[in-house]
Amino acid sequence: MESQRMDASVTPRDLRVPVPEDAPHHFATATVVLGGRVLLTSWVEGRASYRLGILDLRTGQWRVMAGLRGTLRDALAFADDRALLLTDHALTEIDLATHTITRQLTSKIGRYNTYLRRVDREDREDGEDGDVVAVGSANAAMETLVSLDALTVARRRRRGPLASALLSTGATRAGAARVLASREAFAIIATETRESAPQRLLVLTSDGYSETVSVDFPSGLHSAHWVADGALAAGTDIGQARTLTVIPAVISSIADSNGMTLDDLVSAANESAAKILDARARRNPPRTVYRDLRLEPGEEIADVTARRVTLENCVAGRAADRHERPRITRVHLTDLELQNSSLNGAVLEDVTVDGLRCPGSSGFFFGCELHRVTLTGRVHGLILNPTLDALDHATSARYAQWHRERMDDPGWMLDLTEATGNITIRGYPSRFIRRNPNLQAVVTAEALRTHDWRAVDAGRSSLRVSLQELARSDWGDATLIADPHGPRANDDLRYIERLRHEGIALPD
C-alpha cells in the first residue's frame, strides 16, 4: 500500500520509557529498531548499572534487562529471535524471546565503538565462513571482524568509508544536515550534524521537500524510525529525557505492527512502563535528585532534613566577602550522593550526614569552612582540604585568609567518631576534629622531624602518603584514617599501630 500524507494536523506524543526519575544523566545511548518488531534503548540506574529497554512494537510491552557492559551503540537482528548488541565495552548476544543474554565478547574489540555491521562474503578472506560482523568507530581507521560462530575476534583491518544517506539539494535547502529515515514519499531529517546539539526534526515530502511535521529537540536528537503509521524519534540521553517522541498518523499505511497504530502503541507502552516503575518503586524507592543548581554568594540552604538525596552537577559560587560565602546550615541528610558536584568554598554549619558517597572527583571539598559538621555511617571518597586554588591569585589569597581567621575560633569543625570509610583530611588541625581512636590517629609535624618515620613498614597502606604530605607542608599535624571496608584495611590498622608503638603517632 502506498504511503500517503494525512490531511489531519499531527500532534507529537511522548512514549514513556521505564527509566526511574533518579536515573543519572549524561550517558549517551543509541536507540535502534530491529525489523519493525522491537525497539532497543538503554540507560543507567543507580551508581553504574546499565539497563536495556526492549519495547515490543506489536504489543507495546516493555521489558528491562540487566547485564550490559556500557550503553547501547548499535544492534543487529539475526534468525531465531537473536540480536547482537554493541555497547561501550562488549558485544552481547541476547535472546529476544526469553530476554536473556546468551553470549558476550568483551576482549580484543576495543572500547567505545560506534557501529556494528554485517560483512559481505566478497569482503572476507579465505576461511571466513558463517556470519561475520565488523565493529569499529567512525573516528578510527581500523575495525575488528568478529566471527559469530564462536563469537571470537577473527582479525583487524583498515575500514572503508562508512555508508551514509546522501543529502539532495532539495533536502539541504529545507535545512537537512542528516537524513534519519526515508520511507516512500517521506523523509525524516535532522537540522544538525552533531547528535547532541539542539536541533529540529523535520518530516519532509520526498518530492517537493515540503515540511509536514517539525519537532524541536533542545537536548539533541540521535535517531528516528518509521513505525506503523508514523515516526518515532529518540534523543541522545534517555536517562534525561525518559521518553521517546512519537509522531503518529503521518502516513495512511500501517506496516510491521499487526494493525496497531502509533497512538495505540503509545497508550500500551505508557501503561507498561508505569507498571514497571511502580513495581520498582515499591522495592527500591527512588532518590530525590537535585540537578544543575548553583548556590550563589549570599545564598543559604537551611533547615533541611531529607533521605536518599543525590546532587548532580551542583556547585557553590565564589564570594568576594566572607559574610557572602554560600552557606549550608542546620541540614540533616541520610544517604547523600554527589555526582559531578562541588561545594568548594562553602560554609557548612550544624550539618549532619549519615552515609556519603562521592564518586569520581566529587569528593574533593576545597576551601570549605566547617562548623560542627558530623559524619556518620559509611563514607566513600571524601577528601577535605582547607585551601582553594582559584584561577586568580586574589581569590585564593582571600579564602586562605578566611581559613586563618577560622583557626582563631575554638569551636570544633568535624566529628568522625561514628564514621567509617575512605576519608582523607588535609590541613585541618586535629584539635578541631573529634575522632575514633580505633580507626584514626594523629601524627604531628614535630614527630616527623624527631623520628625516623620512613623506616616504619606501611605494608600496602596508603596512609604513608598523608605523612609525606605533612612532611613537606606547613601543617602542624595530620589525621590518619583507616578504612575498615577497604582492601587494605588490615594494613591501615597495622600501620597506625606501628606508628603509635614507635612514638610517632599520638597514643590517643
Task: Give percent of the chain with pLDDT exceeding 70.
Answer: 95
Q: Is the pLDDT of residue 461 over 90?
A: yes
Q: Please tell me whether residue 22 adopts helix, strand or coil conformation.
A: coil
Tell me whether residue 330 is exposed, middle or buried, using C-beta atoms within 10 angstroms of its C-beta: 0 to 12, 13 to 18, 19 or more.
middle
**Residue bearing the bigger pLDDT, 73 or 160:** 73
Task: Quickly state the pLDDT bin for 1 (edges 50, 70, 90).
Answer: very low
Neighbours of 487 (CB within 10 A): 8
pLDDT higher than threshold 60 for residue 256: no
Query: How far apart are the C-alpha atoms of 228 and 8, rounded to whole Å?
Result: 17
What is the model's pLDDT at position 168? 80
Scan for cell 518488531, then name that residue: 37
Q: What is the mean pLDDT of residues 438-454?
A: 95
Average pLDDT over every residue of 372-380: 96
pLDDT digits (tens, 9 = 90+) for 40-57: 999 999 877 999 999 999
Mean predicted lDDT score pLDDT of the chain = 90
Q: Where do the DSSP E strands lie in 178-299?
A: 178-183, 186-190, 199-205, 211-217, 223-227, 230-234, 243-247, 288-291, 294-295
Summarize the confidence of residues 423-445 as an average pLDDT: 95
Phi, psi of 238 (to 5 degrees): -70, -30
pLDDT at 258: 54
Q: Which pLDDT score, from 0 to 100, does residue 508 have?
A: 79
pLDDT, residue 9, reads 58
pLDDT, position 4: 35
Q: What is the pLDDT of residue 251?
A: 75
Structure letter (DSSP) for residue 124: S
Sheet holding 142-147, edge to edge: 115-118, 132-136, 142-147, 152-158
CB 308 within 8 A of CB 278: no
Q: pLDDT higher for 65 or 174? A: 65
Q: How confident is the model at residue 473, as a pLDDT?
A: 93
Tens of pLDDT, residues 283-322: 888 889 999 999 999 999 999 999 999 999 999 999 999 9
C-alpha dihedral, 321 to 326 to 329 to 335, nearest 10°: -150
Residue 108 confidence (pLDDT) above 50: yes
How far is the C-alpha of 491 from the C-alpha of 482, rounded, in Å? 9
pLDDT band at 124 (very low <50, low <70, confident <90, very high): confident
Per-residue pLDDT, 253: 57
pLDDT tens, position by position, 474-491:
999 999 999 999 889 999
Dist. CA 506–CA 375, nearest whole Å: 23
**So what's the pLDDT on residue 122?**
73
Nearest to 99 by CA among 82, 111, 113, 86: 82
- Report the percent of the chain where pLDDT is more than 90: 73
Q: Is the pLDDT of residue 126 over 70?
A: no
pLDDT in tens, 314-368: 999 999 999 999 999 999 999 999 988 989 999 999 999 999 999 877 889 999 9
Q: Is 283 helix (H, G, I), strand (E, B) or coil?
A: helix
pTM, two decimal places: 0.73
DSSP state of 486: S
